[in-house]
Amino acid sequence: MFQIFKVKDTLAFMKWRKVAMALSVLLILGSMVSLATNKLNLGLDFTGGTVIEVGFTQDADLKKIRIILADSGFSDAIVQNFGSSRDVLVRLAPRADVNNETIGSDVLNALKLGTGDNVDMRRIEFVGPKVGGELTEKGGLAMLTALICIMIYVSLRFEWRFALGAVAALAHDVLITLGIFSVLQLEFDLTVLAAILAVIGYSLNDTIVVSDRIRENFRKLRTGTPSEVIDISLTQTLSRTFITSLTTIFVLLALFFQGGALIHGFATALLFGVFIGTYSSIYVASSVALGLGITKEDLIPVEVEKEGEEQEVLMP
């Protein structure tokens, strides 16, 4: 296998596992507290409502735009730049008694009169509250189904201690990624949900590679404690992990800076997810297996007696 570098000495990853686990627990608790208090900044896909994108000929004054919209009866409007300082995105809560096209015209006219600028309507989108509720429910079920299917696969693929470690790593990655979006109040829409499902797949792939090498070394190495065997295995897979993470990050950075505002949330979630997933495959999955008391004997394959094999018969 091609390697950028080769680590000559075994790195003592498990020496820091208690520190890493304490850090993970703190991050998970912080994420859960933020999700309970700040919640997620759900996008239009989940909440329903109207999104209006307008363009100005000069740099837009967001504070002034908010005052103009509030005076025009849109006090609940969320105003933010979209891509450049001249492009503005206006999000409005659902209004059952007002036509969608009427809302767009009213907002556009209010901005033209209030700013005196030649404001252009770029796009207008409307999602009903019923559709938003269905997307929220189906999105949550999609994530839950993915985790359950992965749990079943890993349980059949590995020894149960490794399976628990892999599932713990996946839950760790999802919770912390959601927590980051909650703390920073980044918009959470369907593209971000797709990114989190991709993070689950990325983290699982990394964890399986590491677990396979640990299992192989447990069977191959005759000496060494479980902690030493895991350190050797993690050091051997470090080059592969480095190459995979680095190439993925290069692509995501290109999407983050050049992909445009529509894909910004997707790239942000994956960037966080790659770092967290790489960390969890090294420390969470391996540390859980080690903490559950994985030993060489647990991974020795059971010898199955072949059918028709001649057996020695003891005569009286």
pLDDT of residue 281: 87
pLDDT profile of the chain (316 residues), mean per 10:
52 88 94 92 78 87 88 82 81 72 83 86 76 71 79 77 86 93 88 88 87 85 82 88 89 86 85 92 88 73 53 46
Residue 25 confidence (pLDDT):
94
Residue 98, pLDDT score:
67
**Which residues have a Cβ under 8 Å from the Cβ of 225 and sit 6 or more positions away?**
none
- The one-character DSSP state at 63 is H
| SS3 state at 244 | helix
Distance between CA atoms of residues 232 and 11, nearest Å: 7
Cα four-point dihedral sign 248, 249, 250, 252: positive
Q: Which two tokens stand for residue 105?
A: 């015209």
248: tokens are 């993925």
Written as one letter, the residue type at 46 is F
- C-alpha–C-alpha distance, residues 213 and 289, integer Å: 13
CA distance 11 to 286: 14
Question: What pLDDT is stored for residue 265 in this prediction?
Answer: 86
What is the enclosing helix (H) or strand (E) of 82? strand 78-82
Cα angle for residues 175, 19, 10 (degrees, 5° grid): 110
How far is it, in rounded angstroms, from Cα 252 to Cα 265? 11
Q: What pLDDT sits at residue 191?
A: 86
> Domain locations in the chain?
14-41+132-299, 49-127
Which amino acid appears at position 106 of this protein?
D
| CATH of region 14-41+132-299 | 1.20.1640.10
pLDDT of 58 reads: 86
Residue with tokens 């967001």: 62
pLDDT of res. 316: 46
Q: Strands 41-42 and 120-127, how do they pair?
A: unpaired
CATH no. of 49-127: 3.30.70.3190
Helix (H, G, I), strand (E, B), or coil: what is residue 94?
Answer: coil
Tokens of 258: 């050049």
End-to-end CA, the chain? 58
pLDDT at 103: 82
